[in-house]
Chain A
Amino acid sequence: MLDAILLTPIAEIMAFPPFFFEVLIGGLLTGVMYALVALGFVLIFKASGVFNFSQGAMVLFAALTFVGLEDMGVPLILALVVTAAVMVAFAFAVERAVLRPLVGQAPITLFMATIGITFFLDGFGLTLWGSEVRRLDIGIPAEPLVIGDLFLNGFDVVAAAVCGALVLTLALFFQYTATGRALRAVADDHTAAMSVGIPLKVIWTIVWSVAGLAGLVAGIMWGAKLGVQPSLALIALKALPVLILGGFTSVPGAILGGLIIGAGEAVFEVFWVGLHGGASQDWFAYMLAMVVLLFRPQGLFGEKIIERV
């Protein structure tokens, strides 16, 4: 047992370190994509207090719409614009049909409502576009990238760069623009923010739109890598444990959480395969998040929760 847990994996890592680094970097690159989805989620949570379960479904829906349009012969750029417009329209619809009627309800009710949104969005996307796996080619080369001893997947590097750029933009947007400041004000205290004239409804629509756009980018990248298929929603759902791990009030936490889980699950899958027998990515993120929660309920980087009577 000790052998499978400790000795064999370490021996394997030591035997050929470049391979370990390839796996690690591959994991980190995936982690950037998790971070992107997670960030859309943090925005929604901070601005509206809604724990948005449908983030994964938004990724799938955006990817389905994009690839569906492309298959119909719509040029890439136009497809991108139209899909973005659809995601913004979706944000409006959610604000109008779900958030507004449920304002003031318990957070858990809103959470369950987003599970309803998830089902609706999954069903809607699949009804429109069908459930077969669709190939998506956006012209990113798939040749391996050789850096010294390391062979890296060229596609992953480009995808991570795109997502990373977006993550950075979002983080800066949140920190330094007037809208970002308004968002943070709303996050701090809804009522107080309203009383100084920040329009809540507009803010909600903005954050859901931004989350939808982040979902679109993540969906395109993942879709190009794995094909656009229903299981994308499950992969994107890992943004939830990412957030729990990072502490989901924290933007840097979401980024670091994404990287930790991306790298952790890749390394665990490859080097601890003797222990678990494969396909551990299905649960690794969730189990890690659960164990972390047992010891740090606020996540690794979240603010400490103080209870009052």
Chain B
Amino acid sequence: MDADAHSHEPRAPEPRSGRARAIGDVLLEVRNVTLRFGGVRALSDVSFDIKRGEIRAIIGPNGAGKSSMLNVINGFYQPQEGQIVFKGTPLKKMRPHFAATQGIARTFQNIALFKGMSTLDNVMTGRMLKMQASWFEQMLYVGRAKREEIEHRRFCEDIIDFLEIQAVRRTPVGKLPYGLQKRVELARALAAEPELLLLDEPMAGMNVEEKEDMCRFVLDVNEEFNTTVALIEHDMGVVMDISDRVVVLDYGELLADGTPDEVKADPEVIQAYLGVQHD
């Protein structure tokens, strides 16, 4: 839509308020989701929505159910109660494969790359669903098989350029340092051209510089491709800087939902999550 108009603006990681983006209608809605593992309630009756084009953060202390929430959204876990409404279609349960075909991509807290494959091959797997070649064409490397390999290679190379991982294109990702692995994982998710990108602690374990780079990438992705982003992050500075709206979970329950400023001011959040306010 008119997001294109904004993509020509400078792309430095400015403060949140300085960015102008088109936030549209609701893309995904989590409706009264309850998830249990045996007797343990990981999520109870959680509801919130994610709007097109926004950066949505999910925060909360350890064990609050954040990762479970992402796992429910992309179908790895099936909730016992509640629904996921994606693009207006209510789904009793989401399956990972279906989520992928619907344009939901994600990264993982503990990095889930294909360690034996090169960076390029990892990114290419992200294009898997866009390749049509039959097994026969692949076997002979003719027709669509050959054409698609080249076409998608070009797309993947663009993403590799964008995330500045050209130098490790041919390296097996198992050999890459942690920070680069995180980037490759983001590249793989981006290769799928997702409408909704789920990031599970994209900056965990990074130093300040790496975090800044990663922030810039997330903001760029959001602005340039108008990709909706939902992310889990522990670094409050990052969350408050880059996200449009924040969901706070605690013990599997929704504690607060609003803009960073609203959430920051919410007494319940301060009490339950941030504890005593310092400084």
Contacts and interface: CB of A to CB of B under 8 A. Distances in A.
A–B contact, 8 Å CB criterion (strictly below): yes
**Interface secondary structure of A, over-half rule:** loop
7 contacts: A309-B67, A309-B71, A309-B76, A309-B108, A309-B109, A309-B110, A309-B112
Interface in B63-79: 67, 71, 76
Contacts of A309: 67, 71, 76, 108-110, 112
A105 to B, nearest CB: 13
Nearest to A306: B37
Interface string A285-309: 0000000000000000000000001
A67 to B, nearest CB: 46
Interface residues of B, number: 7
Contacts of B71: 309
Interface of B: 67, 71, 76, 108-110, 112
Contacts of B109: 309
B30 to A, nearest CB: 19
Closest 7 CB pairs of A and B: A309-B108, A309-B76, A309-B112, A309-B71, A309-B110, A309-B67, A309-B109
A309 B109 CA distance: 8
Nearest to B38: A306
Interface in A241-279: none
B158 to A, nearest CB: 28
A309 B71 CA distance: 9
A76 to B, nearest CB: 53
Contacts of B108: 309
A140 B67 CA distance: 63
A97 B112 CA distance: 32
Contacts of B67: 309
A309 B76 CA distance: 9
Contacts of B110: 309
A226 B76 CA distance: 52
Nearest to B110: A309
A309 B106 CA distance: 12
B83 to A, nearest CB: 22
A80 B108 CA distance: 56
A133 to B, nearest CB: 46
Interface in A128-178: none
Nearest to B70: A309
Nearest to B77: A309
Nearest to B109: A309
A309 B185 CA distance: 14
A309 B201 CA distance: 13
A106 to B, nearest CB: 11
A309 B96 CA distance: 13
A147 B132 CA distance: 71
A309 B69 CA distance: 13
A160 B173 CA distance: 53
Nearest to B71: A309
B212 to A, nearest CB: 27
A225 to B, nearest CB: 47
B185 to A, nearest CB: 13
B203 to A, nearest CB: 18
B238 to A, nearest CB: 22
A309 B66 CA distance: 13
Contacts of B76: 309
A232 B22 CA distance: 74
Interface string A83-119: 0000000000000000000000000000000000000
B248 to A, nearest CB: 23
A309 B110 CA distance: 8
Nearest to B200: A309
A303 B71 CA distance: 24
